[in-house]
Structure 1
């Protein structure tokens, strides 16, 4: 069994207090931005003393600066103008004051309540830094509506509508000070706790995507989620809202950030604990193309796949970084897209049992369920749908696998051969350690330890792939996807005095096989071979 090291208490409070400063030091560029904005505020306030302007940087920038991270995601809240009103007024001021600072690129993102985009945002750039301007707001919900009535609000009202107390910290640009209107943000940041400013039911009613956002912050910073908040994340109506109310693009963005975070295993454990697999890794549209029984069976296996894959990952990573293919894995770790595709390929692997008449399940899910990029769809589909028979035959008896067998297989993954082999290696590990894992409250900074036998199993699988990589290198197949056939279709037709037709593709396939098995062969020898086979 996998040994899970968890605290037994209902809510784990991270006792290691972080040294969070009570002031923020601005960079040179940030100081220039601050001075320019405050100069405008002073100019504006001289003639609007009854309603003076105050600007506050909100959200992630404040959190990241206090944690010691650089941040270029600057959202600025204006106390009594809309973001658009402020930016255009500021733009006119700059034109008069100093034309070199003119704000020429202004973009307004309108509200879209149906997609939980409740606030208009105006974006511009200063000193090469993107700035988003919004107004402080309050939100009121009718009992029968998820679309809020939005009005200008106080800083406290605005802070209370944030997704987490540590994201509700403000930095007052006018006064150069941190403001903690929830009176919990600084303490939660110091102790690594994620909790909602308002009762979590209200917070998730505002925007169900905040469930995934909290998981993302937990996996990024290794923070614990407070128990009442975690309980609300598990409620069925919130899961339903996440499936139906939030755009697939927004879900994909949060999922990607979770899977490429510092601790994706922890994020996946939280996804499992909150029973979110169906609302993330399934979409109703699949029922139109695929067998309902196969879909249900595959979907039922995904939580266990996630459980085992997240449980053994750190052990796998440590062992492979101590192996002879460490350099291959280091390149993989440095590529965020590769890590995202790795986890998608592993998590969605149970879908490989689902068959369709003309479309593959991975293409359809990634397109409809996540609105994923074409490159992601191509890679995950190829990795999970391509038979691994050649590799397994190699492991059984390397002498029975020809250079062409291995070469043709590897050409199925042009430019991402390493990603495929790492996924196949890990899937073997997951399949070999299919044990029942209890549902526990995931806790940050606590490792999930494999038994001695499980470590030996993972090591033996990695050893097999070390041998495979050694063979790939010795056969000069590392760049086999770049190999060009000795003959193209036109040349082949000319030499054989045959018109293009159905015969050509299998003939070209034979050219490639012969070329791989005869790396020093000539064009004439290849033609003679093709003639003999036809």
Structure 2
């Protein structure tokens, strides 16, 4: 914690730092964007301050890669434009209403924002922004102490008035001032606390957790899009369980993703079923362990939400058993509704919902009783999601019974081998009828219309059931089908 007996300004300037330490910190920070120091000299020559600030400082000190280069200054936006004129290779002003000017210099993209403070009216979704003149006051308004550090330019002199460096060492998330004030200014910061717990693996300070719990209802004034973005970053973090658990424990999940805490089903001592909430978190972790090219948002959301239909479908059966019939169908509909409310893109909504719907399909495979036709349909129904469905299905095995787990793994290995064999023989991923729409019209003597689509679906089912049979045989089957349907040419 910073010394409470001196002002933040004194802490920023008087904190004892050895020359070696200052040099080491400056060297780390200079790696973010070497051109930033050059820009700092330009601002200084114009009589203005410039500092590298926030996430880039934090990540540099943690030796984490960062894509953002965020800078802050006492210069107002119009003055920023004057200073960078002739130096920047490109400039954009899309955020200038909020005091931000974007620019590109060589391979680096930077954003320069005027010192500011922002807060929310209790009934508004949009922040009120006002400009300031003090770097320390600008840092004071930021969400957490680990993000309330800056490096003055030129030279990369660290400014840390609220103990962010100590918090990085202790791996803790605190607010620069009272958490109630910080969350009152922007309720989204409550979700950001959980997101940083996920991304950094840091603990959240008890007073911050207490404020999140007390103020969870305030999140309702934040737009769905901002909530979605924070939730996606949380789910794609390195430690999503920690962030999600924090959302559930504080009541925030009940506001933004209510299906998640509802998985905490009461377990009657006379009825047996898994802890669905804990199971879902384990499935998420096991899905993550199978990722090959970094975080996969669609896979992670599907793993987290795959069982959200269980609370609505739970039935107590004779003999102490509990059933959840058709929970995958109900869950797919719930998933679509929730992701739509959170304004996720349509492709994400469709893919996650489809995976939830299909996640139980494998269990009909038994010990390999599926025909080749059933395997083809499994592949056809999964389509481009087949690889993700493989991972989700494997992740969904959380039994502690080693023999059962090994049996399920071997069975799915066998199914994947069959899929690979059929794919090699039949180009399974591109299954389509052996006769196209134009040929259907020619063979049956019909014009374009719904009947062509109906015939196409018949031929597709034929292809899935019997595999490749050749065009001649397919045409004969089409004529037989048309005769049964009493189809006549026009």
Match of 1:412, SS state, is helix
2:341 pairs with 1:362:
no
Alignment-derived partner of residue 240 in structure 1: 217
Match of 1:229, SS state, is helix
1:136-195 deviations in Å (ceiling 9; x for gaps): 23467889989657341422222221111111111111342111111x111110111111
Q: CA deviation at 1:461?
A: 3.3
Match of 1:130, SS state, is strand
Instruction: Measure the CA separation in 2 of the matches of 1:227 and 1:58.
Output: 26
Instruction: Measure the CA separation in 2 of the matches of 1:406 and 1:109.
Output: 52
Instruction: Measure the CA separation in 2 of the matches of 1:142 and 1:347.
Output: 38
Could you tell me which of 269, 280, 286 is aligned with 2:256? 280
TM-score if structure 1 supplies the norm length? 0.72
Kept after mapping to 2: 8 A contact 1:169/1:185: yes
2:343 pairs with 1:374:
no
Kept after mapping to 2: 8 A contact 1:141/1:148: yes
Could you tell me which of 146, 152, 155 is aligned with 1:166? 146
Kept after mapping to 2: 8 A contact 1:218/1:225: yes
Kept after mapping to 1: 8 A contact 2:120/2:186: no
Instruction: Measure the CA separation in 2 of the matches of 1:425 and 1:384.
Output: 14
- The higher-RCO structure (CA 8 Å, 6+ apart) is 1
Match of 2:419, SS state, is helix
Task: List runs of 5+ in structure 2 lacking aligned partners.
Answer: 1-20, 266-274, 313-325, 485-490
Instruction: Measure the CA separation in 1 of the matches of 2:234 and 2:119.
Output: 30
Alignment-derived partner of residue 445 in structure 1: none
Match of 1:398, SS state, is coil
Q: CA deviation at 1:260?
A: 1.4
Could you tell me which of 257, 267, 276 is aligned with 2:233? 257
2:425 pairs with 1:423:
no
Q: CA deviation at 1:524?
A: 0.5
Kept after mapping to 2: 8 A contact 1:259/1:339: no
1:234-267 deviations in Å (ceiling 9; x for gaps): 22xx32221x211111111111111111122222
Q: CA deviation at 1:219?
A: 1.2
Kept after mapping to 2: 8 A contact 1:140/1:150: no
2:434 pairs with 1:486:
yes
Match of 2:130, SS state, is strand
Kept after mapping to 2: 8 A contact 1:411/1:481: yes
Q: CA deviation at 1:59?
A: 0.5
TM-score if structure 2 supplies the norm length? 0.78
1:386-429 deviations in Å (ceiling 9; x for gaps): 5845x33322x523x222222223222321111123223434x3
Kept after mapping to 2: 8 A contact 1:268/1:306: no
Alignment-derived partner of residue 100 in structure 2: 121
1:458-505 deviations in Å (ceiling 9; x for gaps): 444333322221221122279633223211233123213345555544
Match of 1:476, SS state, is helix
Kept after mapping to 1: 8 A contact 2:328/2:360: no
Alignment-derived partner of residue 43 in structure 1: 45
2:440 pairs with 1:495:
no
Alignment-derived partner of residue 508 in structure 1: 456
Instruction: Measure the CA separation in 1 of the matches of 2:256 and 2:121.
Output: 28
Alignment-derived partner of residue 269 in structure 2: none
2:164 pairs with 1:191:
no
**Number of residue pairs matched?**
435
Instruction: Measure the CA separation in 2 of the matches of 1:159 and 1:514.
Output: 67
Alignment-derived partner of residue 59 in structure 1: 54
Alignment-derived partner of residue 112 in structure 2: 133
Instruction: Measure the CA separation in 2 of the matches of 1:232 and 1:215.
Output: 13
In structure 2, the CA distance between the partners of 1:423 and 1:241, relative to structure 1 (3 Å rule), is same
Match of 2:143, SS state, is coil
2:90 pairs with 1:108:
no
Task: List runs of 5+ in structure 1 lacking aligned partners.
Answer: 1-18, 46-52, 95-100, 112-118, 283-295, 322-328, 434-452
In structure 2, the CA distance between the partners of 1:379 and 1:313, relative to structure 1 (3 Å rule), is closer
Instruction: Measure the CA separation in 1 of the matches of 2:455 and 2:117.
Output: 69
- Aligned CA RMSD, in angstroms, stands at 3.4
Alignment-derived partner of residue 446 in structure 1: none
In structure 2, the CA distance between the partners of 1:387 and 1:156, relative to structure 1 (3 Å rule), is closer
Runs of 4+, deviation exceeding 6 Å: 140-146
Which stretch has the larger CA shift, 70-79 or 197-206? 70-79
Q: CA deviation at 1:214?
A: 1.4
Alignment-derived partner of residue 71 in structure 1: 66
In structure 2, the CA distance between the partners of 1:108 and 1:503, relative to structure 1 (3 Å rule), is closer
Alignment-derived partner of residue 90 in structure 1: 83
Could you tell me which of 394, 401, 407 is aligned with 2:365? 394
Kept after mapping to 1: 8 A contact 2:194/2:246: yes
Alignment-derived partner of residue 326 in structure 1: none
Instruction: Measure the CA separation in 2 of the matches of 1:479 and 1:153.
Output: 65
Alignment-derived partner of residue 32 in structure 1: 35
Match of 1:415, SS state, is helix
Kept after mapping to 2: 8 A contact 1:164/1:195: yes
2:323 pairs with 1:346:
no
Instruction: Measure the CA separation in 1 of the matches of 2:283 and 2:360.
Output: 22
1:254-313 deviations in Å (ceiling 9; x for gaps): 11111111122222222222222232225xxxxxxxxxxxxx9x9733786443322465
Which stretch has the larger CA shift, 67-76 or 500-509? 500-509
Could you tell me which of 157, 176, 196 is aligned with 2:137? 157
Q: CA deviation at 1:199?
A: 1.0
